A and B are shown apart, each in its own frame.
Chain A
Amino acid sequence: MTTIQNYSDTQLPYQNQYQSAQADAFHGVSSSDIDELLQGNPNLWRGCDMAGQGVQGRSTGFPQLDAILPGHGWPDRGLMEVITPHWGMGELQLLIPLMRSIVEQGKWILWISPPYLLYAPALVQAGINTDQVLVVKLDTSCKDALWSMEKALQTENCGLVLAWQNWLPTKVLRRLQLAANTGDTLGVFFKHHDSEHSPSPVRLKIEDSYSENAGFNESEVTVIKARGNFRSRSANINLYQQA
């Protein structure tokens, strides 16, 4: 009925006419309301538009990184993969602000078989309460590591679970993802190689970079994949700004 009425109104250019028809079809719902609806629903995913997506993430502590992550920060739960060609590229520096906020929440950080000794003075310098840090040292199997990771992800009090595993089957990752969702926790894998079809919602890569003004001080952080991002984006960040 409304279209017929609008066609009769011949004065308007075609474009306007169409828009008003649309607007009338929504019975006076303005475009800002629609935007609100679109923004508010995290299940709606809109192509390359990565603004907000309704999920407000936890700030990473690095403004440049916040800018390229959907939700302007780390997701609240789920799995993340941090890929570095070798250890010591600042992969933990990247998570220090996150760790700090998790510890402040009263939650624990679990380190599952880290490759080297975790050094307490550095944690204290970074402002992380070592009372809320637990290390599981396993020299045995990957199975045990995954078992503890799943249990930890299901435990609400473990805010962050860190593990060093290079290659994991998709099935295992899906299972861990589910565990992280039930426990409302965040799990991070540190790996050397990227696996393209990994189901983890966030994959980051840290690479060495050199620029004229910053020298070697900055590293290139690439968000290979993030739920809500259309394409990979990268930013140059000085990860050692605290040090």
Chain B
Amino acid sequence: MKDPDSEAQLPLPYIAPESGPQVIQLPARAKGLAKQKPSKAAMDEARVKSVAKRSKPNSLWYALYLPQLRELNSALQKKYLDQLAGHMQSVSSTVSFHPQALICEVRSSLKYFAGIDVIHQKLQKLVEEQLQQWDLADGFFYAASPTVSGSLLLARSGHNALVYRPENLRSALGQLSTDVLELNKEQRRRLLNMGIRHLRDIWRLPSDGLCKRFGSNFVNQLNKALGKAAEPTLNYIPPPAFAASYDLPYGIENLDRLLPIADALLAQLCDFLRRRDLSTSSLVLFLLHEKRDSTEINIGLRMASRSQQHLTLLLKAHFDKLSIPAPVVAIKIEVKKFDAFFTKSDSLLKDESSGSPSYSDSNLIQFIEQLQARFGDNHVKSVSNATQHCPEYASLQLNYKDKLNRRGRIAMPVEVSENPRPLWLLKEPKQLNINKGRLFYRKPIAIVSGPERIETHWWSGIDVCRDYYVARENNGSRLWIYREKNGKRNWYLHGFFA
């Protein structure tokens, strides 16, 4: 790493020695007062000031600038920076995002990694590997200085520079061209007309004049770079991850005995979720076997939850129908998806009369999830009406899950025929016999009402052309029967008026 600042090549001081005497700079009057009577407030103020002063040179920001990202779209940029930020977390706990650049605080890690060179080499290796994976040019610029903007400016200018001390920052930044500043066209033109090419030219100008001509943002930008203004950063927070496992002392075949252990793991999970104010809607439980693939139990929730009781119930339902191929030697829980946690608020006044809208659905959802966990999604059906003339297609049985997804899309008014429809429909119409001139199913049949002509689906090749009747079997059953209008003119049983 080339350092423009030879003085800074010395071993790092943790607190700049000059910062000691400079600590307290109270106004003369206040100083006098403090001498006479060192009040508690004044002492506090002094301490705060000293901390503030001392903490400033204490940070060293390492900037990583990737100009090749500029050509990518913003979503991809964000994705790549996110991943790189994950890598950067291996050297620093404070990583923040900037356009095409990442910045991390490394002063606090210098001692651990024994110098900035080790940190740089570590990061270089990680970043270059990652860039190769993405098929991007593997060059990048870097810089380290006591301020965030300073590092960013140095890195953007292409100076791979290292500045340890804040007092050297002014000269290090001075040699940069004004192009690295974020300026608009008008400001750029003005600087050019004033004959300013480098930042050091700006240092010579009075700041109030600059403020007048270029706006406070411009001056603020420079002050930040020099460490004269505070520079808050938005830090990268890694996405939450949860995995917990438990090794059993010996293989267990009985799932009932596994349940308390799984329960304890779930308790850990719920604790984790509660602390982070999250909930989960999808998790996996692995039952590990010796010399075999592990058994996976996927637990999906319709509504994200962090209630241990609910999760345990679901797990129990899964265990009930599960058969394991071999004894379980270890158990592991992983969360696939985290969700934000929302609490349900109860209404202050229980509204019993209006009923439906205020009725809390949480119990029901838990119940349906238990059903789904035990029988699978295919066995929990919802019934819905379809606007179809043909009786077979007028009723839909969808999986409950699919229906929930559909509900948003379909909002059609329900249209139902005025003619009687039976509650039971046969999967396949059953042909009826004619016995001694009378229709016969289990007993002779007599027609009660009808006919209702249904002619449809001629376009699909299956020509439906039927006359429907309500009929009464001799034993009291009410039947829905029809006669084909074409072909053999057979009679069929299609439903029961149960």
* Interface stretch (choices A66-74, A88-96, A166-174, A225-233): A88-96
In this complex, the member of A85, A124, A147, A156 whose beta carbon has the largest number of chain B beta carbons within 10 angstroms is A124
Interface size class of B (residues with CB under 8 A): 35 or more
B453 at the interface (CB under 8 A from A): no
**B418 vs chain A, min Cβ distance (A):** 8
Please name all residues of chain A whose beta carbon is closer than 8 Å to the beta carbon of B132 when the two chains form the complex.
Answer: none
**B298 vs chain A, min Cβ distance (A):** 20
**B9 vs chain A, min Cβ distance (A):** 73
Are B476 and A151 in contact, with the CB atoms below 8 A? no
Are A120 and B381 in contact, with the CB atoms below 8 A? no
B286 at the interface (CB under 8 A from A): no
Q: How far is the CA of A154 from the CA of B391 in the complex (A)?
A: 36
Are A89 and B476 in contact, with the CB atoms below 8 A? yes
A130 at the interface (CB under 8 A from B): yes
Are A133 and B383 in contact, with the CB atoms below 8 A? yes
* Interface stretch (choices B155-163, B230-238, B357-365, B432-440): B357-365
Q: How far is the CA of A121 from the CA of B359 in the complex (A)?
A: 26
- Among candidates A86, A90, A106, A152, residue contacting B359 with C-beta atoms closer than 8 Å: A106
Are B374 and A144 in contact, with the CB atoms below 8 A? yes
- Among candidates B360, B368, B421, residue contacting A125 with C-beta atoms closer than 8 Å: B421
Q: How far is the CA of A92 from the CA of B424 in the complex (A)?
A: 10
Nearest B residue to A206, CB-CB: B476
Are A105 and B356 in contact, with the CB atoms below 8 A? yes
A26 at the interface (CB under 8 A from B): no
Please name all residues of chain A whose beta carbon is closer than 8 Å to the beta carbon of B498 when the two chains form the complex.
Answer: 87-93, 116
Number of A interface residues in the complex (CB < 8 A): 49
Q: Which B residues, 381 to 410, have Cβ-Cβ distances below 8 Å to chain A? A: 381-386, 391, 394-397, 400, 407
**A61 vs chain B, min Cβ distance (A):** 16
Q: How far is the CA of A155 from the CA of B313 in the complex (A)?
A: 14
Are B364 and A119 in contact, with the CB atoms below 8 A? no
Nearest A residue to B361, CB-CB: A157
* Interface stretch (choices A17-25, A44-52, A134-142, A195-203): A134-142
Are A124 and B414 in contact, with the CB atoms below 8 A? yes
B478 at the interface (CB under 8 A from A): yes
B46 at the interface (CB under 8 A from A): no
Bits for A95-123, please: 1 = Cβ < 8 Å to B, else 0: 00000000011111000001111111111
Are B375 and A144 in contact, with the CB atoms below 8 A? yes
- Among candidates A85, A93, A105, A144, residue contacting B355 with C-beta atoms closer than 8 Å: A105
B214 at the interface (CB under 8 A from A): no
Bits for A171-208, please: 1 = Cβ < 8 Å to B, else 0: 00000000000000000000000000000000000011
- Among candidates B363, B378, B479, residue contacting A156 with C-beta atoms closer than 8 Å: B363
Q: How far is the CA of A148 from the CA of B317 in the complex (A)?
A: 11
Please name all residues of chain A whose beta carbon is closer than 8 Å to the beta carbon of B386 when the two chains form the complex.
Answer: 120
B83 at the interface (CB under 8 A from A): no
**A193 vs chain B, min Cβ distance (A):** 15
- Among candidates B364, B375, B383, B421, residue contacting A130 with C-beta atoms closer than 8 Å: B383
Are A106 and B356 in contact, with the CB atoms below 8 A? yes
Are B397 and A135 in contact, with the CB atoms below 8 A? yes
- Among candidates A86, A107, A120, A219, residue contacting B385 with C-beta atoms closer than 8 Å: A120
Q: In the complex where A106-B355, A157-B364 touch, is A90 in contact with B497 (Cβ < 8 A)?
A: yes
- Among candidates B367, B472, B497, residue contacting A155 with C-beta atoms closer than 8 Å: B367
B171 at the interface (CB under 8 A from A): no
Are B364 and A116 in contact, with the CB atoms below 8 A? no
Please name all residues of chain A whose beta carbon is closer than 8 Å to the beta carbon of B395 when the two chains form the complex.
Answer: 117-121
Are A122 and B355 in contact, with the CB atoms below 8 A? no
**A128 vs chain B, min Cβ distance (A):** 10
Nearest A residue to B400, CB-CB: A134
B184 at the interface (CB under 8 A from A): no
Nearest B residue to A147, CB-CB: B374
B370 at the interface (CB under 8 A from A): yes
Are B497 and A93 in contact, with the CB atoms below 8 A? yes
Please name all residues of chain B whose beta carbon is closer than 8 Å to the beta carbon of A144 when the two chains form the complex.
Answer: 374-375
Nearest A residue to B365, CB-CB: A157
Are B379 and A90 in contact, with the CB atoms below 8 A? no
**B420 vs chain A, min Cβ distance (A):** 5
Are B496 and A134 in contact, with the CB atoms below 8 A? no
Are A87 and B363 in contact, with the CB atoms below 8 A? no
Please name all residues of chain A whose beta carbon is closer than 8 Å to the beta carbon of B368 when the two chains form the complex.
Answer: 134
Are A151 and B370 in contact, with the CB atoms below 8 A? yes
Please name all residues of chain A whose beta carbon is closer than 8 Å to the beta carbon of B425 when the two chains form the complex.
Answer: 116-119
Are A121 and B385 in contact, with the CB atoms below 8 A? yes
Q: How far is the CA of A124 from the CA of B388 in the complex (A)?
A: 14
In this complex, the member of A116, A119, A137, A152 whose beta carbon has the largest number of chain B beta carbons within 10 angstroms is A119
**What 12 new A-B contacts, CB under 8 Å, besides A89-B478, A116-B424, A144-B374?**
A86-B477, A89-B498, A92-B423, A106-B355, A106-B358, A119-B422, A125-B420, A130-B384, A131-B384, A131-B407, A135-B381, A151-B370
Please, could you name 29 A-B residue pairs with CB atoms under 8 Å apart, sorted by A? A87-B424, A87-B498, A88-B473, A88-B478, A90-B478, A93-B423, A106-B357, A107-B359, A116-B427, A117-B395, A117-B397, A118-B397, A119-B395, A119-B422, A120-B385, A120-B386, A120-B395, A121-B391, A121-B421, A123-B385, A124-B416, A130-B385, A131-B382, A135-B383, A137-B380, A147-B320, A148-B374, A151-B370, A157-B360
Q: When A and B form their complex, which 6 residue pairs have the shortest distance between CB atoms, in order from nearest?
A: A208-B476, A106-B356, A88-B496, A116-B424, A88-B477, A157-B364
